[in-house]
Amino acid sequence: MKARILDFTYRGLNKGLLTLELDGDFRDTYDKLNKFDVDVTVKKWHPARSKDANALLWEMCTRIAKAIGSTKEEVYRRNIREVGEYTPLPIKVEAVFDFERIWSAHGIGWFIDVVDDSKIPGYKLVFAYQGSSTYDTKQMSRLIDNVMQDAKSIGIETEDPNKIKSLLEEWK
């Protein structure tokens, strides 16, 4: 949600009053929550990523999948694995299955690789990958570049690099 900070007043004792102007009609939300404490995160706003760049990514994953007899989801995950960032985590052996189920519920690109035994006895070392929905422009650019290289390597025609660049610039 996009908002503008209009004012901040420090009230002492680690308390403050922050006044925001919100884009949208939040009367219903206010009516439902005004009697409760709420959790709020404030960070610099940036426009949502380009739907066109995301559409291009999935179109190319689909073309590659058809050419190699796979699924677009498998192609997408393989590319996430190749260029995506992951978080290494030690997970208790008996909790790995549940962690994978919960983690992967976030989306197609959210998956784990169980790499090895952890240095901690009774734990596994897990690489937890995040889907491209969390990617910034630089990360998405790497992902799309990788998918385009895959497509070229098997003879699939790809989008003009200048068009790809302009799609990615829409994220800025």
The pLDDT tens digits of the residues spanning 44-71 come to 776 665 568 888 899 999 999 999 999 9
pLDDT category of residue 121 using cuts at 50, 70 and 90: very high
Hey, which residues does 112 pair with through a beta bridge? 128
Q: What percentage of the chain reaches a pLDDT higher than 90?
A: 51
In a domain, 130, yes or no: yes
> Residue 39, SS3?
coil
Hey, which residues does 114 pair with through a beta bridge? 126
In a domain, 119, yes or no: yes
pLDDT of 171 above 60:
no
pLDDT category of residue 6 using cuts at 50, 70 and 90: confident
pLDDT score recorded for residue 172:
47
In a domain, 33, yes or no: no
- Cα separation, 89 vs 99, in Å, equals 11
The strand ranges marked E within the chain are 3-12, 15-22, 86-92, 111-117, 123-129
In a domain, 21, yes or no: no
Residue 165: give the domain boundaries.
51-169
In a domain, 46, yes or no: no
In a domain, 152, yes or no: yes
Of 96 and 54, the structure prediction assigns the larger pLDDT to 96
The structural domain count of the chain equals 1
In a domain, 136, yes or no: yes
In a domain, 28, yes or no: no
